Structure 1
Amino acid sequence: MSNSLSHWVNVLRWPVRLLVKSKLVPRDPCAELGIDPQKPVIYILKTESVTDLIALERIAKSLGLPNPNTPITIGGKEIPRYFSVYGRMPFIGKAAPQDEKSIAQFSELVHLLRDEKQHDIQLVPVALFWGRKPGNEDSSVKSAVLEDDQASWLRKLMMVLFLGRDNFVRFSQPISMTQMLDGRSSDERIAHKLSRLARFHFYRLAQTMLGPKLVYRNSLDKRIIKSSALAPVMEEYAAQKNLTTEQVHAEVAKLVDEIAANYSERLLRIGDRVLSWLWNKLYKGISISNAERVRQLSQDGEEIIYVPCHRSHMDYLLLSYVIYRQGMAPPHIAAGINLSFWPAGPIFRRGGAFFMRRTFKGNKLYAAVFREYLHQLFNNGYSVKYFTEGGRSRTGRLLNPKTGMVAMTVQGLLRGIERPITLVPVYLGYDHVMEVSTYHGELKGKSKEKESMGQVFKTLRKLKNFGRAYVNFGEPISLNKYLDQNVAEWRDSIDPIELQKPSWLTPTVNDIANRVMTNINNCAAVTSITLTALAVLGVERRAIAKNNLVSQLDWYLDLLRSVPYTDGVTVPEVSGAELLEQAIELDKFTVTNDELGDVISLSASGAVTMTYYRNNILHLFALPSLVAAGLVYKNFTTKAQLQDLVHSLYPLIQNELFLGFEQSDLNDYVDAIVDNLKQAGLIELNDQQISVNSNTKTQLIIMAQHIQETLQRYAIVLKIMQKKPTIERSALSHDSHVLAQRLSNIHGINAPEFFDKNVLSTFITGLKELDYFTGEQDEHNSEEVALLVDTVTGLLRPTVLATIKASLN
């Protein structure tokens, strides 16, 4: 560091520390990026800046990393601990890349390391952002003053004053100089490569953090109105309505006003503070998994479409907040038109929300304008977020996907967008969902309450600590790669003007939508609430001794860890006892005490509520529960029998719960479950013969219970089909709903989704897709139905089966 720069660092250190509050991206860079504090570090910065150095100095100290303002000694020579790609900005004009200086620094470092081969220097790129303004067509003085791109000392001073509380420090993965030196390149070639990579890296980081430059609304209106793809639709609309060109343009402008977001970086900065307060008020924290994979996609130049599950209105805020805090540009959000009420609508718009009607039917112009607006977002590089379920899940399970937005995304790709488009499934979970009680009312037939400010105030009155929230980013789906692998001729359909609906579009979109839902479930978060709810709801009368519950939870945790559903599922790193204590603290379970110890239970109303949380992870235990049912109710004694059972029912369960296994993987998965049961002492395995341990059979019975409600629904539908071979699917759905309600009342089945018409319809549709119905008149494949009836009914509790039979006689 030069003497003058060192002087200014000393002078400004305390003022800057008072004015600046930095936010780390990622939150724990050493652990998440593999930065080793025990190895020597040299920081790579974009610009030589006193304020950047002081902010980094404070962050480095908190991470146990070396001070960037102290030199590092290599081979007996002191050199600066930071290199910068650009020099200090002059008061007027722009700084040129300091190629000669940075290359000289890199060359000197390489030369010194050639002689000191024991040193493994980590080059750690660090980018500092003051605010998150992406820039736009605004040429005002205010925009210029607060522009973060290579600011002069005066502009940097203004930024520290106005944006010091919004300083983001973005660490990147370290570059090992040992690996760089392993090649045969010359010192100068390596130095040139490092300098070039650093400049490109900081450019990509800026794109990731800030997003593309914003387009003004009047410019957006003009682009949409002048779109070649929209022109024929406007001409047709003008002819139908007998309107002039100007009148059609005015109609289009109104529709754009109804739809379009009005993104504001200032609102996002304010929102960041408000939401930080809100999360601290509501939750103990937010658990985030696999955010780095999304940051990498963004840095690679992908067009990112976030497709989360939909549990709560809180989803809109939570995911955007997490994305912003994880160092990525917040997405534009597709929201239902029901959320555009005043004053929330204008606020949501400035936060990036654009609004869509529930249906596009009967309004071709609206559909065309919406598609064109979405295309403009894609074409300009904005990330987008939409919910493929269409609405919030009232049951806690994933809903069947609505494919409209996915279809428009694929059609956007067929418009010739150059950037690859990647769908990023996201699992959102909560220890407490504020709308759960209203969901249960709606499932029982109560009308949905219209969104309004009154609803908002009701919610605000309930603010209290609701445990944790969970955001898990799932395995991305590259649309370009998917189409390359599954639709060889898709590029033949690319047309920048004409809306394309090739024959392959509908089945392809359906498959992509189902993959999205499967990938969401593949990254589920197991929590204290979801796992405890699952266990307690599996017990008769919903009451269990605490020590027995702890044993059950310990087994479930061990099963999830030793036989993982997928690598993306997150499991708490605690014991069953610790997990139970966390659940009890959230005040959702009743704890009573007698002379023999504590009993954990759920009231009737509490049991209904907890089915929602159980359903969040029910898919993780569907097959283990089916295996347990085969052992307990079918008295199976071999792995082969269990494998056959799982294979026979898997297509139906997969269709309903979006399970992620291939048929070819099922045998290995069943074998792993059986091995776990043996290790847990629940069964004995001798010469491939399985016998249930009578002392621990209760644990297997509890596990078997988790799939019971699903099998009971199957039995209801199948027995009606067997009794009424010519019944139409609509009548089958009605009769099944009636019988399921009766079964729920008689046997105290507390899950509202047990008799939900949508769930029953999903199963019936699955039977149709699997050819249990034949022909156009819904005739049944009686032989296949009979085999399925035998399989399913043999897994039910006798009392439940007796009720079904009696109700149909």
Structure 2
Amino acid sequence: MLRPVRWLAKLLYWPLKPLVRCKIVPDAVKENLELNPNQPVFYITRTESASDLATLVRICHKLGLPDPLQPVQFGASWLPRVLFLEQPHVLWGARAATTALEQGLTLLQTQQRHPELQAQLVPVSVLWGRAPGKENSIKSVLGESESPSWLAKLFIVLISGRHTLVRFSRPVSVGEMIAQTEVNTETAHKLLRVARVHFYRQRLAATGPKLPDRSALFNALLGSDRLKQAIEDEARSKQIPVSEARAEALKLLQEIAADYRESTLRLGDRLLGWLWQRLYNGIVINNSKVLTELVQKGHEIVYVPCHRSHMDYLLLSYVIYHQGLAPPHIAAGINLNFWPVGSLFRRGGAFFIRRSFSGNKLYSAVFREYLSQLFSKGYPVKYYSEGGRSRTGRLLQPKTGMLAMTVQAMLKGIDRPISLVPVYLGYEHVMEVNTYLKELKGSGKEKESIGGVFSAIRKLRDYGYGYVNFGQPIALTQFINQQQPDWRDSLTDDPAKPAWLNPLVANLADQLMRRVNQSAALNSINMIATVLLATRQHSLPRQELERQLAFYQQLHQQAPYAALVTKAEGTAEQWVEHALKLQKIQQHHDSFGPIIQLTAEQAITMSYYRNNVSHLFVVPALLATALLQHHELSTVQLKNIIQLIQPLLADELFLQLDTLDSYLQQLLDAMQEAGLIEQQQGHYSAVPVQQAGHRMLELLAFNAQDILQRYAVVLNLLSDTPLSREELEQKSQQMAKRLNTLHGVSSPEYLDKNLFATLVNALKQAGYCQLTDQNALIAGSSAQPVQQTVNALLHAEVLQTVLSIVKGH
């Protein structure tokens, strides 16, 4: 059966070339497949199609892979290299029987006879177009059949040929397969069933489920028991007819629901491809293989990225689309639903959410039912658990509403596993950063409008690199099983709000944020910002700057914060040149050589990029501070200092140190090897001030000073007199501003009103403060060691200012 399709594929090879343009995933196919060229290679694909085979031949020639048209010598036999699962449909009559079973059985039997030849079976999906199709649509009959007839395939190639997706999956070892079972017809059947499931999942992952008719979807949602009850409650509470309440619910659905269209995605793909080329030197993507693994396991993916910029909406969806996966439905703030952008976002998969549900039970019910429908249908979803964009560059404390609704949807009985994928988004330039600083200084938030869009377009320039790092996913069912083993027994007829839901969701949100930070991206800009902002005048001789940058790179190579944290590519000299090109720094010359400097405006904006990765430097900075402030310390003493402060860091910076002892030792070894510290008789100390390493240690230590100052302010205030939470937060911020004025600290997080609120929560959770009978906060007995430790780590002049202000109160 292969011979006719082989010759037809040869005939179609050149005629198809101008009609077909393929997106091949993964990008580095040969590296990802890890094929052994000395062992037989076979391909398995879904449908026996000449156009599919001609396309596969062209791609294999391009990638340097074995030719699908050439038979394989397997032992003493010559076998076809391609195994087809199905015959195509025919225009009339029954389609021919497939030879897949015979081919599969022959392959297994030959492998059994020649165990020394480890055959490699590579699944290849060829998808003509990425349209999911609509339910009950004539298009699904003609253009989206799994195994279309030659006539339907002709239309498919003409319409969708230039939007073809070809995905190569990791090869299956035939030898390992037969080692686990007997070789017979039943085994061959099992192989084919597994392959069919694989190709079904590949198609579903690339296109998403079929889309329902919009009006039919709304009618189905309005007809659900929960929403009908909510409509009746609304009518009763407002004393209006049920029909009027139903009309209001329909209006809310129209406000919320996405209107996903594949044509908009195609247009967006072209526009964004042009935009990224104009804006960025490149988009760096890391750990995307985790998505492929989840897809192959049949998981529904919920993307939970950090939120830095409005660009996040576009960048992440674009990256996901180019990984060969269906772009997710995106929870977008209602502020983005303005003409004409709102309509485009909605057609690209955005559904809109109000900032608050409070006081509107009908809206809450409508939104929950819509979100539950997305999950039950199997659409990938993306939302930002921070709720809004970070104005300081640090992760915000997460909002748990969307996560809670995700868990509730699972409790209602979704039949697929759900995995939450944290995503770190990083930029070398965030175009809203100046607006963020204005907002932190008290100016009102600018309302999004079409004028703002045109203004942003006029300012487009070279923004350096963008980074998309996929973190370690959380399997939702497994997480709930670990946190609440008996959760199934605790469910009632209405599982909407079990008693354990809120604490579990809070823990889940915290874990997601920690995993976002565990997949951070170090780059030239945030590393240069970290170095220069540690100097009083925000300037350094270029040679000294490059030496410090090289040390930071070495530090993170020898003592990695987490396995998924990515390091900057290139050399320190190249990073400085890159930052100069992006106009992030200034270079001046005197008779002694070049000096790199930040202007006053650059220093403020660069603090945003430093804060993106501040969690990666805080522990080494605390070690450096301790060794500068004390004559010498043992490993145990250094560990005690970190352990006392760690609970506060964990809340503020979402710090996750799984192996503290080994991490600290790796840091100390790296600092000693770089000549910053020395060890004698089990004690560590800073190198003498005359050595270059002493200055490098000071620059490293500075990265902990802002945090220590805030901790000292709050801890010393609490130890002085009981204060209400509002008084404590207000006085803390006032003191921080005074420290900024007196000691020259200028950092956007000092202007963030939520920063001290987060710190107070961390103090309470760690048991470092407690409530009096008058509901005021006072330091607990366990706070004194922390206070003494923090005070001892501060520079003398800063500590004196803190203590004098506290006594003055």
**Equivalent residue for 1:668?**
662
Change (3 A) 1:607 1:182: same
* CA distance in structure 1 between the aligned counterparts of 2:217 and 2:137, rounded to whole angstroms: 18
Structure 1 contact 45–85 (Cα < 8 Å) conserved: yes
Give the secondary structure class of the aligned counterpart of 2:67.
coil
* CA distance in structure 2 between the aligned counterparts of 1:504 and 1:88, rounded to whole angstroms: 52
Pair 1:684 & 2:678 matched: yes
Give the secondary structure class of the aligned counterpart of 1:540.
coil
Q: 1:573 offset after TM fit, Å?
A: 4.3
Change (3 A) 1:95 1:302: farther
Change (3 A) 1:188 1:488: closer
Misfit runs of 4+, over 6 Å: none
Change (3 A) 1:444 1:88: same
Change (3 A) 1:438 1:150: same
Give the secondary structure class of the aligned counterpart of 1:158.
helix
Give the secondary structure class of the aligned counterpart of 2:137.
coil
Change (3 A) 1:240 1:607: same
Give the secondary structure class of the aligned counterpart of 1:266.
helix
**Equivalent residue for 1:601?**
597
**Equivalent residue for 1:655?**
651
**Equivalent residue for 1:804?**
802
Change (3 A) 1:21 1:207: same
Cα distance per residue 1:650-670 (max 9 Å; x no partner): 0001110001124xx322221
Cα distance per residue 1:758-798 (max 9 Å; x no partner): 11111122112223332352241354444332211211222
* CA distance in structure 2 between the aligned counterparts of 1:782 and 1:248, rounded to whole angstroms: 53
Cα distance per residue 1:506-531 (max 9 Å; x no partner): 21111111111111111111111111
**Equivalent residue for 2:11?**
11
Q: 1:637 offset after TM fit, Å?
A: 2.3
Q: 1:78 offset after TM fit, Å?
A: 3.1
**Equivalent residue for 2:130?**
132
**Equivalent residue for 1:455?**
452
* CA distance in structure 2 between the aligned counterparts of 1:263 and 1:486, rounded to whole angstroms: 36
Correspondence 1:205-244 to 2 at 5 A: 205-244=202-241
Give the secondary structure class of the aligned counterpart of 2:16.
helix
* CA distance in structure 1 between the aligned counterparts of 2:97 and 2:743, rounded to whole angstroms: 75
Q: 1:22 offset after TM fit, Å?
A: 0.7
**Equivalent residue for 2:625?**
629
Structure 2 contact 57–69 (Cα < 8 Å) conserved: yes
Pair 1:253 & 2:250 matched: yes
* CA distance in structure 2 between the aligned counterparts of 1:522 and 1:666, rounded to whole angstroms: 15
TM-score by length of 1: 0.95
Structure 1 contact 129–168 (Cα < 8 Å) conserved: yes
* CA distance in structure 1 between the aligned counterparts of 2:309 and 2:657, rounded to whole angstroms: 28
Give the secondary structure class of the aligned counterpart of 2:633.
coil
**Aligned residue type for 1:475:** Q
Structure 1 contact 208–295 (Cα < 8 Å) conserved: no
Q: 1:13 offset after TM fit, Å?
A: 1.4
**Aligned residue type for 2:552:** Y
**Equivalent residue for 2:421?**
424
Give the secondary structure class of the aligned counterpart of 2:587.
strand
Give the secondary structure class of the aligned counterpart of 1:14.
coil
**Equivalent residue for 1:64?**
64
Correspondence 1:107-256 to 2 at 5 A: 107-140=105-138, 142-147=139-144, 149-183=146-180, 185-186=182-183, 188-256=185-253
Correspondence 1:517-536 to 2 at 5 A: 517-536=513-532
**Equivalent residue for 2:442?**
445
Pair 1:340 & 2:309 matched: no
Q: 1:301 offset after TM fit, Å?
A: 2.4
Question: Which one of 712, 716, 723 corresponds to residue 713 of structure 2?
Answer: 716
Percent identical? 45
Structure 1 contact 30–37 (Cα < 8 Å) conserved: no
Question: Which one of 740, 747, 760 corresponds to residue 744 of structure 1?
Answer: 740
Structure 2 contact 715–779 (Cα < 8 Å) conserved: no
Cα distance per residue 1:735-777 (max 9 Å; x no partner): 1111211221232212111242111111122112223332352
Cα distance per residue 1:320-345 (max 9 Å; x no partner): 11111112221111111111111111
Give the secondary structure class of the aligned counterpart of 2:425.
strand
Q: 1:605 offset after TM fit, Å?
A: 0.7
Q: 1:500 offset after TM fit, Å?
A: 2.5
Pair 1:86 & 2:86 matched: yes
Change (3 A) 1:745 1:566: same
Question: Which one of 366, 378, 384 corresponds to residue 387 of structure 1?
Answer: 384
Give the secondary structure class of the aligned counterpart of 1:42.
strand
Cα distance per residue 1:357-391 (max 9 Å; x no partner): 11111111111111111111111111111110000
* CA distance in structure 2 between the aligned counterparts of 1:30 and 1:495, rounded to whole angstroms: 52
Q: How many residues align?
A: 802
Change (3 A) 1:315 1:36: farther
Q: 1:212 offset after TM fit, Å?
A: 1.4
Give the secondary structure class of the aligned counterpart of 1:230.
helix
Give the secondary structure class of the aligned counterpart of 1:794.
helix
Structure 1 contact 415–494 (Cα < 8 Å) conserved: no
Give the secondary structure class of the aligned counterpart of 2:793.
coil
Pair 1:34 & 2:28 matched: no
Pair 1:568 & 2:584 matched: no
Cα distance per residue 1:539-593 (max 9 Å; x no partner): 2311112222222122211221221111111113433333333333322111222
Change (3 A) 1:39 1:458: farther
Question: Which segment is superposed worse, 778-787 or 608-617?
Answer: 778-787
Question: Which one of 542, 548, 553 corresponds to residue 538 of structure 2?
Answer: 542
Give the secondary structure class of the aligned counterpart of 1:707.
helix
Cα distance per residue 1:413-456 (max 9 Å; x no partner): 22222322221111111111111111111111111110010111
Change (3 A) 1:230 1:3: closer
* CA distance in structure 1 between the aligned counterparts of 2:145 and 2:631, rounded to whole angstroms: 69
| Structure 1 residues not aligned, in runs of 5+ | none
* CA distance in structure 1 between the aligned counterparts of 2:577 and 2:218, rounded to whole angstroms: 56
Change (3 A) 1:115 1:408: closer
Cα distance per residue 1:193-213 (max 9 Å; x no partner): 322222221112112112211
Change (3 A) 1:113 1:504: closer
Change (3 A) 1:192 1:240: closer
Give the secondary structure class of the aligned counterpart of 1:556.
helix
* CA distance in structure 2 between the aligned counterparts of 1:379 and 1:713, rounded to whole angstroms: 46
**Equivalent residue for 2:694?**
697
Q: 1:226 offset after TM fit, Å?
A: 1.5
Structure 2 contact 109–183 (Cα < 8 Å) conserved: no
Q: 1:249 offset after TM fit, Å?
A: 1.6
Change (3 A) 1:232 1:139: closer
Structure 1 contact 146–159 (Cα < 8 Å) conserved: yes
Give the secondary structure class of the aligned counterpart of 2:309.
coil
* CA distance in structure 2 between the aligned counterparts of 1:97 and 1:463, rounded to whole angstroms: 58
Give the secondary structure class of the aligned counterpart of 2:604.
helix
Structure 2 contact 417–475 (Cα < 8 Å) conserved: yes
Q: 1:132 offset after TM fit, Å?
A: 1.0
* CA distance in structure 1 between the aligned counterparts of 2:384 and 2:763, rounded to whole angstroms: 26
| Structure 2 residues not aligned, in runs of 5+ | none
Question: Which segment is superposed worse, 623-632 or 193-202?
Answer: 193-202
Question: Which one of 298, 315, 330 corresponds to residue 327 of structure 2?
Answer: 330
* CA distance in structure 2 between the aligned counterparts of 1:188 and 1:500, rounded to whole angstroms: 48
Pair 1:367 & 2:364 matched: yes
Change (3 A) 1:131 1:722: same
Question: Which one of 790, 793, 802 corresponds to residue 792 of structure 1?
Answer: 790
**Aligned residue type for 1:638:** S
Q: 1:495 offset after TM fit, Å?
A: 5.0
* CA distance in structure 1 between the aligned counterparts of 2:11 and 2:417, rounded to whole angstroms: 48
